[in-house]
Amino acid sequence: MQKNPEQCQVVVALDMIVGKWKPMILLYLMNEGTKRFSELKRLLPDITPRMLTLQLRELEAHDIIERKVYPEVPPRVEYSMTEYGRTLEPILEAMHEWGKAHLEHMKAKHARQSEGVADPSGKSGR
């Protein structure tokens, strides 16, 4: 196992998808295919053009997405997953499933607690 977080392989993978908007951008490009700049902007109502550009450029630098410029006027730029980027799909999918289950897990946990049931394990302390 890597002792230095910087070279921990998990962190390497994590770097591809961390960023306030990267998960959503990836989900859209993976599930709905190619999108242009303005489409993404519309899908992410609260993102600023600056942030959209930054996050897209990072993904592009990592070979996760591809940027295609059409030399037209008005300009058109399309973003899409690279074949390599699609190798992230199982991970995103697993996280999506896990996240869904987690919400259930926490709901059940709170329900248990708010019922005022003295939990038999006696670990409620703190």
Partner DNA sequence: CTGTATCCTCGTGGATACTG
Partner DNA sequence: CAGTATCCACGAGGATACAG
Please answer whether residues 87 and 62 qualify as being in contact, where contact means their C-beta atoms are separated by less than 8 angstroms: no
Residue 36 binds which one of a copy of itself, DNA, none, with CB within 5 to 8 A depending on kind?
DNA
Cβ neighbourhood burial of 27 (10 Å; 0-12, 13-18, 19+) = middle
- Which residues bind to a copy of itself, rule: CB under 8 A? 1, 3, 5, 8-14, 16-18, 20-21, 23-24, 27-28, 31, 43-45, 62-63, 69, 84, 87-88, 90-92, 94-103, 105-106, 109, 125
Residue type, 46: D
Q: CA angle, corner 98, sides to 96 and 99, nearest 5?
A: 65
58-117 positions binding DNA, by CB under 7 A: 67, 74-77
Q: Which is nearer to a copy of itself, 49 or 84 (CB)?
A: 84
| Window contacting DNA (CB under 7 A); options: 25-33, 54-62, 97-105, 114-122 | 54-62
Please answer whether residues 25 and 54 qualify as being in contact, where contact means their C-beta atoms are separated by less than 8 angstroms: no
Torsion of CA 85, 62, 58, 38, to 10 degrees: -40
Report how many residues bind DNA under the rule CB under 7 A: 24
**Residues that bind DNA in the complex, under the rule CB under 7 A:** 18-21, 36-39, 41, 46-51, 53-56, 67, 74-77
